[in-house]
Chain A
């Protein structure tokens, strides 16, 4: 090839536009790069939840023995869930609040199911940074509003588990659940 005699420098430099040779080298390096990017897919996605974690799991709870004023703690997908049978006083306290004043505006009715307004099911995970609030077990600090109190950073939840005071941005989350009978709920 004529080009070789006048370029003593053995590096292939495209001085007069892209030659076929350069094109092949660029193509080879680009294709290898594409392959490298594709190998990142398994390396990245292996950190995402595995199939056994993603598998839909449900938690079934029997609440036939849950008296008004009592709560139970259960586990749903490795996280605590609180089920409370609200007393009439607690329901009234919750309904007395002006929803417009709340940080996360929701009524008690929106947070319970029709026909079971006294059963409040919430995740026991503070919406601030994920600690487990107190108040579900007998004798625990229920906070200034008589619901739940998170000791980590002082979030107070009311009887409808709505955030009233402290750093938490939203109310305690209500998971998806259904009543399969009057005394049995299935979460998830």
Chain B
């Protein structure tokens, strides 16, 4: 009885799904889905030619690069993007001394409350403060940016596939839409306030090219600030902001793996020795 009912139920589900398949296949053949501009012109992100120090099996932070990236964030990105998960005290991990961290924190203006009047005011940052948002709230951010709220950058490299490469590619990937794109997908040609970038999901983003000219920042360590260099540096910096434990994690991982391998080999030998009493009985 159960089997009879089962066969019937199975056939019903099969029938309905096959019906859906036939209808879907018919529609697919008669009216194939139109090719989309995203599909045709989107490019996968790629890292800089020399790679990132934090990649690979033995990752390291390139502290000089992270400091440069921080400078790019501070002088360029922070005009529109917040970094709200990061506190100034975290900058110590980039190799800054305690005094430098304090000075760096004090160079930022953070929101505060006037102790006498209770009104909103500002004060210089201290190491325990978090990076302030450039806008008071989302409404202000939207109003100032043509309704496109600039996302927080703390976790950007974890919030995109191949995040560090994505940031680097996006920053160096602005270009005029090709004639082919304009011809095949006139709707995908950026309108006013939009910019073409093949690394962005839908090819058109509201962020104007932020890094446009060599020497846009003047690096404290004397590195030549080419567009490519600035893009890599800020991508590396944002990798650190998203995952400050990355290097420690992988180092810890090797120790754990080494220990586990040792224990597992011992466990295998122990298993063999326990079972040997039984195996010897085999003929």
Contacts and interface: CB of A to CB of B under 8 A. Distances in A.
B126 A28 contact: no
Interface residues on A, range: 20 to 34
Contact of A28 (B127, B128, B263): B263
B274 A35 contact: no
B266 A24 contact: yes
Q: Chain A binding site: helix, strand, loop or mixed by DSSP?
A: helix
A31 B266 contact: yes
Contacts of B263: 28, 31-32, 35
- Is chain B's interface secondary structure helix, strand, loop, or mixed overall? helix
A56 B278 contact: no
A52 B87 CA distance: 9
B274 A12 contact: yes
A7 interface: yes
Contact of A55 (B87, B259, B262, B267): B87
Interface of B: 87, 89, 115, 126-128, 259-260, 262-263, 266-267, 269-270, 273-274, 276-278, 280-281
Interface centre among B260, B269, B270, B278 (most CB of A within 10 A): B270
16 contacts: A4-B281, A7-B277, A10-B278, A12-B274, A12-B277, A21-B273, A24-B270, A25-B273, A28-B266, A32-B267, A35-B263, A52-B128, A55-B89, A55-B127, A56-B127, A57-B128
Given A21-B276, A55-B87, A58-B126, A28 B281 contact: no
Contacts of B274: 12, 25
A12 B115 CA distance: 76
A41 to B, nearest CB: 11
A3 B263 CA distance: 27
Given A1-B276, A10-B278, A24-B270, 7 more contacts: A3-B277, A4-B280, A12-B277, A24-B266, A31-B262, A35-B263, A51-B89
